[in-house]
Chains A and B, each alone.
Chain A
Amino acid sequence: MRKLLARRALFGVFTLWVVSVVVFLATQALPGDAARAILGREATPERLAALRDQLQLGESLPSQYFHWLGNVLTFDLGNSLASRQPVLDLMGPALLNSSVLMFLAAVIAVPISIAIGTWSALKRDSVLDQSVSVLTLVLAALPEFVIGILLVLVFSTGFLHLLPAVVVIPPGDRVWNHPDQLVLPTLSLVLAVAPYIIRMMRATMLEVLDSDYVLQARLKGLPERTVILRHAIPNAIGPVAQVIALQLAWLIGGVVLVEFLFRYPGIGFQLTDAVSNRDLPLVQALVLAIALFYVIVNLLADVITLAANPRVRTAA
């Protein structure tokens, strides 16, 4: 098991390396003058020269890459082109804010989804199960920003003026001091993520409940509670962990549009901002951070899946 995990971790590192190459190639190695592409037509010769120097554009491509990678690995991510501040200082608070948002969404969505999915599977084909099925199907179809706008239309306009439509947080203040502003962004993400987990949990539970070993447990005369808690759920955890990981990894992409919609000061909003300002050092850093998050979440899911499988656990 340790060997397997080490292999997965190694693959994660490899993934990050490939991501770094893609990000580097996309931002710095495009044909033409990268500095001019970044700064635009109206750039002064001095600024162009300064940027060329910063990016080491005079050198060969591999040497540029290794120079850049060396900087990244030592957390020297350069200065933002727009605000001239170090990228790391800009990213810090945004990362924290996004983490708060994603953490809230995950903590609310995962347990509720698992509960609803299990319940729906146990009440298979009832009116309740069918309603859950249709509702999750509808929600799963809606893009996250559409969910967000619909929520805004319902809760922030017209007859219900319950919640703010955009997030306005004074500089230096923390998001969690404004819980009312967190409600709609969190709810958008929860509604976007939950249907997949519910559907997967339901499907996995149905499969497990149909298995011979659950039939056998019932024919042994065990109480239904024991059948479900001891015999069914442990076998459903592995596959569901994978889906939850996929959804959490999806969250980091999902926050982009939701943060943009609500003007929530996280990395998603920062990324859209950096993109429209052509602030390449910031874009590079943000994409790398997102990939890092993805790799970590997947590694965690692998740990859970492997730990839930006695075949792997016992193969010491």
Chain B
Amino acid sequence: MSTTRPETVQDDNKPAKQPTLLRRALRTTTTKVGMVLTLIVLITAFAGPLLSPHSPTEFVGAPYASAGTSGVFGTDNLGRDVFSRFLHGGWTLMMLAIAATAIGVGLGALVGVVAAYVRGWVDEMLMRGGDVALAFPQIVLALLFLSIIGPKLWLLVLMVAVGHLPRTARVVRGAAVSVVERDFVKAAEAVGIARWRIVLGEIVPNITGTLAVEFGLRLTYSIGLVAGLSFLGLGQQPPAADWGLMINENRIALTVQPWAVALPVLAIAILTVGTNLVTDGLARASVGSDKGVEQ
């Protein structure tokens, strides 16, 4: 047998390098729809204050004036312009939700990866501790501390983040354990690569899909939680414009002036559905990239 070109026959088999996760996810229609929905609400929330016809605290008419008579969507319980308050009331919610998610998922991922890699009693302690923390429903945990220390925004972010931490840690640990057990981690250990480098260079790059999905999922929950706590009156305080607070202030007059409640509720609904559709797309795209041929 000739040895000059030993394996030149395999070029036909070379698949193209996979495109990025988001790009693959965006091939499905539902993900595209989700992306559009998310962007619509994000743009409304962040560009809103620039476009609003009135100041959010300006009194423009009688309380609960119906849509069309005073402003496009009428006025709220104190006679402020609903549309202006709606346009101003989203961005704090977004910032709080994103901050809480980033902190919660970031720390949770760290705990999860460390637990998965170190194993032994450290792992056992961290995970049992997480199980205990799960006995507090997220909203109850936030209620407990916000009620005692007071409705401070930093505390709200912290409590939402603390609620995410054990949940994220558990999921990330699960994903990381299956990576840690793969031989390439052992191969890196055998040649003595530093442990923190193994975590960053070998384990984390192989759980990016899980991390992206987890971030999307927790962001969806954060939006709901932050809005829910504002709805309970534990978020931004009056007279600030805030979607959760708007629902709280105006729900008594739901039958007279539905817009003051409907606008923020629809915005939250569209946003959470959007982020969840994108997350689902990411989840679908991140499974099964490396499988054998026979099946």
Contact flag (A, B; Cβ within 8 A): yes
Q: Would B132 and A141 count as touching, CB distance under 8 A? A: no
Q: How far is the CA of A149 from the CA of B255 in the complex (A)?
A: 12
Contact B136 A146 (CB under 8 A): no
A107 at the interface (CB under 8 A from B): no
Q: Tell me which of B223, B247, B277 contacts A149 (CB under 8 A).
A: B247
B137, A250: Cβ atoms under 8 Å?
yes
Q: Across the interface, which residues of B come within 8 angstroms of A219, CB to CB?
A: none
Q: Is A14 an interface residue (CB 8 A)?
A: yes
Return the contact of B144 from the options A14, A26, A144 (Cβ within 8 A): A26
Question: Looking at the complex, which of B17-25, B183-191, B262-270 is the stretch in contact with chain A?
Answer: B262-270
- Judged by a CB distance under 8 angstroms, whether B254 is at the interface is yes
A307 adjacent to chain B (CB < 8 Å):
no
Name 15 A/B residue pairs within 8 A (Cβ), A-sorted. Answer: A19-B135, A26-B145, A142-B273, A143-B227, A145-B247, A146-B269, A150-B269, A249-B137, A250-B137, A253-B138, A256-B143, A257-B231, A276-B147, A280-B148, A291-B136
Interface of A is mostly: helix
In the complex, the answer to whether A141 meets B275 with C-beta atoms within 8 Å is: yes
Q: Are A143 and B262 in contact (CB under 8 A)?
A: no
B126-142 CB contact bits vs A (8 Å, 1 = yes)? 00100110111111100
Interface string of A263-281 (1 = CB under 8 A from B): 0000000011011101010
Tell me how many residues of A have a C-beta within 8 Å of chain B.
52
Smallest CB–CB gap between A133 and chain B, Å? 9
A71 CB–B CB distance under 8 Å: no
Determine whether the beta carbon of B272 is less than 8 Å from that of A143.
yes
In the complex, A157 has a CB within 8 A of chain B:
yes
Task: Determine whether B251 belongs to the interface, using a CB cutoff of 8 Å to chain A.
Answer: yes
Q: Are B268 and A256 in contact (CB under 8 A)?
A: no
Chain B residues positioned under 8 Å from A49 (CB to CB): none
Q: Report the interface size for chain B: residues with CB under 8 A from the other chain.
A: 44
> Beyond A26-B148, A252-B137, is A145–B231 a contact (Cβ under 8 Å)?
yes
- Give bound CA distance, A11 to B140, whole Å: 21
Q: Which residues of B contact A290 (CB under 8 A)?
A: 136-137, 140
Contact across chains for B233 and A276 when beta carbons are under 8 A apart: yes
| CA of A249 to CA of B134, assembled, Å | 10
Q: Is the CB of B265 within 8 A of A153?
A: yes
Does residue B228 face the partner (Cβ distance < 8 Å to A)? yes
- Encoded as 1 (CB less than 8 Å from any A CB) or 0, chain B from 242 to 265 comes to 000001000100110010011001
Assembled-state Cα–Cα distance A287/B140 (Å): 7
In angstroms, how far is the closest chain B Cβ from the Cβ of A249? 7
Does A15 sit within 8 A of B, measured CB to CB? yes
B171-224 with Cβ < 8 A to chain A: 220, 223-224
The contact of B30 among A15, A137, A256, A291, by CB within 8 Å, is: A137
Q: A30-B148, A152-B254, A156-B254 are in contact. List 15 more A-B contacts (CB 8 A).
A: A14-B132, A15-B131, A26-B144, A27-B144, A141-B275, A145-B228, A146-B224, A146-B269, A153-B262, A156-B255, A260-B232, A271-B140, A275-B146, A290-B136, A290-B137
